[in-house]
Structure 1
Amino acid sequence: MNKIPDALSRGLLALMLLTGGAGGYVYNESVHREAQRNEYIQAVAEDLHSSTELRVAMVMGSFYESSYKHIGDPYIDKLGKGQPLTVCNGITGDGVFLRYYTPTDCYRLEKARYIRSEAAAKRLLSFWAGYNIWQRATFIDFIHNKGEGAFASSTMRRKANAGDIVGACRENPRWNKGTINGVSMALPGLTIRADANAQLCEGGL
């Protein structure tokens, strides 16, 4: 059963088309036009200073957090732990204030955080150089979403560092819970993210 949402697949394929990395995929004119229209994916594709896996992770995060829509007005994430002030594609913490954020502002905030997540993944994973872009991207997305501390102590990391990359990928579905009114429960959005990441990590797009 395919658990990668169609919109996510199309966004990732659009990124591949724009960066010339779509080898092996059948050319799709509608996806190509969609890629040209999507300003966020275009901005990610044009960022030649970042690794392919970091750019893939940013497109993944944009889908999971906002369905590729720009969110420039900060809001209170009532489902987030501590209900943090949030803007752009799920960005909280440093740099988030009560003001409007342009697409450029958002991209700057997001990229800085993804760079830190990528650096943490490289530091915490023994076999980083041997992973493909989908595996690297899902690890980056995990750390960006759940935090370095959660990953450092996770069974996912332990399995990866033991050489069991398939087992590590299959840990993703366990990370689908959030806290609502003090109760931990599976959340639809996190379930979609966890299941899609498991499939991307294990088999790619």
Structure 2
Amino acid sequence: MSKIPDALRAGILALVLLGGVGGGYVVGEREQAIAAAEAKRNEYIQAVAEDTSTSTAVKIAMVMGSYYESSYRHIGDPYIDKLGKGQPLTVCNGITGPEVVLRYYTPTDCYRLEKARYIRSEAAAKRLLRLWDGYGAFTQATFIDFLHNKGEGAFASSTMLRKANAGDLVGACRENPRWNRGTVNGVSVALPGLMIRADANGELCEDGL
């Protein structure tokens, strides 16, 4: 049974339909209908699909992140992420850092912030993963999402990276489900949202082989 949530699958299919972003993904008639319905109501996915300055992997990763962080909703008011390390001020689709201040962020503001972060994560992935050019777009997207979500430090010291660089890409993909924990009241626990992200990324990573 697939561990990719239906809404995430629909978002990716909408991206495929709108932007011709296949990455090896075969779309049947039923899936085309689902994708068409999602595309009509999802302005974020439309913006990603229409951006010609980003790679297929970045486009897929941005749609993945939008689902994981906000279920495709626009979050323009900064909030305190009480489950995040240091409880950072957060806005849009999980964006933190010194540029996040207490003001309203328009969809355009969010897209600009997110795109810059994903491009940096892609650059880090290309630098760290020796066999990057041999990976499919979905596999690349899961590595970009990991770097965007967990950070370069976590990835650089991970078993996932070691296995990938040793040529064991299946083993690297199957490391994803291990990254499902967060700290709550000083205790490391498996968090539902991170479990969904980790499990779905593991499957998407292998789908891209």
Q: Give TM class, smaller chain.
A: over 0.9
Deviation of 1:95 (Å)? 1.3
Partner of 1:126: 130
Contiguous gaps of at least 5 residues in structure 2? none
TM-score, structure 1 as length reference: 0.97
Corresponding position of 1:47: 51
Displaced runs of 4 or more, over 4 A? none
Coordinate RMSD, CA, aligned: 1.2
Letter in 2 for 1:40: Y
Cα-to-partner distance string for 1:36-76 (whole Å, 9 max, x where unaligned): 22100000001111000001000000000000000000000
Q: Given the alignment of the two structures, is residue 167 of structure 1 paired with residue 168 of structure 2, yes or no?
A: no
CA distance change for structure 1 residues 30 and 132 in 2, over 3 Å: closer, same or farther?
closer
Return the letter of the residue paired with 1:133: A
Q: Displacement, 1:31?
A: 2.3
Counterpart in 1 of 2:141?
A: 137
Q: Is residue 65 of structure 2 the alignment partner of residue 68 of structure 1?
A: no
Deviation digits for residues 152-195 of structure 1 (CA, Å, limit 9, x no counterpart)? 00000000000000000000011000001111110000000000
Task: State the alpha-carbon separation in 2 of the partners of residues 21 and 93 from structure 1.
Answer: 30
Corresponding residue for 1:26? 28
Look up the equivalent residue of 1:25 and give its one-letter code: V
1:112 matched to 2:110: no
- Matched with 1:13 is 13
Verify the 8 A CA contact 2:10 2:34 in the aligned structure 1: no
In 2: Cα distance, 1:179 partner to 1:191 partner: 14
- Where does structure 1 lack aligned partners over 5 or more consecutive residues? none
Aligned positions of 1:91-102 closer than 5 A: 91-102=95-106
Percent identity reads: 75
> Given residue 5 of structure 2, which amino acid in structure 1 is its aligned partner?
P
| 1:3 CA displacement | 0.3
SS at match of 2:189: strand
Q: CA deviation at 1:34?
A: 1.9
Which residue, 151, 154, 162 being the options, matches 1:150?
154
